[in-house]
Amino acid sequence: MLTLYSYPQLFGVADNNGYGLKVYAFLKLAGVPFRHQHIFDASKAPRGQLPYIVEGDDTVGDSETILHYVTGKYRLTIDAALTPAQRAEDLLITRMLDDLYWVMSYSRWKDERYWPAFRDALLREHSSVTADGLMKAKEYNAQRYYYQGIGRFDPDAAMARGLADLAAIAQVISPQGYVHGDKPTSIDAGLYGFIANIYFYDIDTPLKQFVVAHDNIVRHCKAIHAKVSV
């Protein structure tokens, strides 16, 4: 059976990282049986990043690569009806979520307004996590942010970038149904992975304030959450 290795849950969300939750939601929506192993150590992962999957002799990392692998291996039809234009839209949304990831991560590990709440939640929910370990992770992430670029923004400017991403997302999620109609597709799993890691968190960032203020985003997030949490 396929095993998904990804970060542990937080605030009732199955993975506290948008990419891992995206893969988790995709597997659930597509009906692929799997085991879910929560880990913090990514040293055995391809490229040293979570999530990754193991199935037999195959080890696959990177969320998009995982979705492509699983779709081919199991001959999934979750995206089979999409038009070329819809596939192009999905790619644009996926790349935008890559941008939102950095803002979300920055808000947790670097923005001192929200870091204490995130730190305390991890310490409260995961006994294996230590304050010293979190500080080392905080320092490591600060280096990542600097070299990626988001770390050179001041907190409000970084947040504004994420709010612009969410404003675009608000335009592609309809008041009813899913992005491409009455049935969820892989892009709905991708959106859920990131939005759920904002909406369900008990940390009142401007990102969460934006999501809560948009009924269509909340409805979509809750709809996917209900489907994948069973």
Residues 198 and 152 occupy one common structural domain? yes
For residue range 133-188, list pLDDT tens digits in order: 999 999 999 999 999 999 999 999 999 999 999 999 999 999 999 999 999 999 99
The pairing of beta strand 58-61 with beta strand 34-38: unpaired
Whole-prediction pTM value? Answer: 0.95
Which DSSP helix (H) or strand (E) runs through 193?
helix 186-199
Domain boundary among 74, 94, 118: 74
Q: Are residues 103 and 28 in the same domain?
A: no
| Both tokens assigned to 108 | 């947790």
- Number of domains the chain contains: 2
Q: Whole domain around residue 167: which residue ranges?
A: 84-228
102 shares a domain with 57: no
Contact 106, 163 (CB under 8 A): no
* Residue 17 pLDDT grade (very low, low, confident, very high; cuts 50, 70, 90): very high
Q: Are 64 and 93 within one domain?
A: no
Residue 28 has a pLDDT of 97
3-class secondary structure, 126: coil
pLDDT digits (tens, 9 = 90+) for 66-122: 999 999 999 999 999 999 999 999 999 999 999 999 999 999 999 999 999 999 999
From CA 30, how far away is CA 16, in angstroms rounded? Answer: 21
Q: Does 79 fall in a domain?
A: no
132 lies in the same domain as 151: yes
Q: Is residue 90 part of a domain?
A: yes
User: Is the same domain home to 69 and 91?
Assistant: no
Which of these three, 54, 74, 94, is where a domain ends? 74
State pLDDT tens for residues 30-45: 999 999 999 998 888 8
Would you mind telling me the total number of residues written for the chain in this entry?
230
Sheet holding 34-38, edge to edge: 34-38, 2-6, 52-55, 58-61
Which of 49, 74, 99 is the last residue in one of the domains?
A: 74
Structure confidence by residue, pLDDT tens digits, 194-223: 999 999 999 999 999 999 999 999 999 999
- In terms of domains, do 29 and 104 share one? no
